[in-house]
């Protein structure tokens, strides 16, 4: 019986000794970190950069595959995507991110990140990150465009194959 009591006390002391830093970060701690990191602004900038890159890729593909497309058609398409981006709920998107960060970051992680992002180097990283992201996307754009070209070619081949199969007469039935 003394052994059980000793073992129980030992286990209880281990549980109590667990660092509070091992607990998940709270909703408010993640919100504070996001504010320090300017996450809301970064999400908006990244989404805009993605939209610009996608417009360029779409323009290139449409021009190649739909030669009759006019500048006005492209302008209407651009306005449509701009209007969609205006409706993007950035605040809701950021709010949706909080539980994900809570699952992956402990209180001590958030404290360490807060220390880093409060430093001059952390603030510089935050200032430069949007431009680095845009430049990285621009650098990757030719690769993405080449991939999109392959996808479009394959889709055209598949469409041609499907047309060819549907135009082929059906063999006569064995039933008579």
pLDDT tens digits along 58-73? 887 777 778 788 888 8
**CA 87 to CA 89: how far, in whole Å?**
6
- Scan for tokens 């709920």, then name that residue: 89
Residue 113, pLDDT score: 96
* pLDDT in the model for residue 167: 60
Whats the size of the chain, residue-wise? 176
Residue 65 has a pLDDT of: 77
pTM: 0.59
Asked which of 9-18, 51-60, 140-149, 166-175 is least confident by mean pLDDT, the reply is: 9-18
pLDDT at 7: 47
Cα-based distances in Å from 146 to 60, 61, 69, 156: 11, 11, 21, 15
CA distances 57 to 18, 61, 64, 96, 149, Å, are 52, 6, 11, 29, 10
Cα(69)–Cα(24) distance, integer angstroms: 53
What does pLDDT average to over the chain? 81
pLDDT at 2: 55
In tens, the pLDDT along 14-51 reads 544 555 558 999 999 999 999 999 999 888 877 887 77
Which sign, positive or negative, has the C-alpha torsion 147, 149, 155, 160? negative
What secondary structure letter does DSSP report for 24? B
pLDDT at 62: 79
């Amino acid at each position: 019986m003394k052994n059980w009591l000793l073992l129980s006390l030992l286990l209880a002391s281990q549980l109590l000794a667990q660092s509070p830093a091992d607990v998940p970060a709270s909703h408010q701690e993640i919100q504070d970190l996001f504010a320090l990191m300017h996450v809301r602004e970064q999400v908006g900038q990244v989404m805009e950069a993605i939209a610009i890159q996608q417009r360029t890729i779409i323009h290139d593909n449409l021009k190649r595959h739909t030669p009759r497309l006019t500048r006005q058609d492209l302008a209407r398409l651009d306005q449509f995507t701009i209007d969609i981006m205006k409706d993007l709920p950035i605040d809701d998107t950021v709010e949706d991110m909080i539980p994900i960060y809570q699952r992956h970051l402990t209180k001590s992680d958030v404290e360490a990140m807060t220390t880093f992002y409060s430093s001059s180097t952390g603030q510089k990283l935050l200032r430069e990150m949007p431009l680095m992201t845009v430049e990285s996307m621009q650098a990757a754009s030719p690769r993405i465009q080449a991939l999109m070209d392959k996808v479009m070619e394959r889709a055209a081949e598949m469409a041609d194959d499907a047309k060819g199969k549907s135009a082929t007469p059906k063999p006569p039935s064995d039933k008579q």
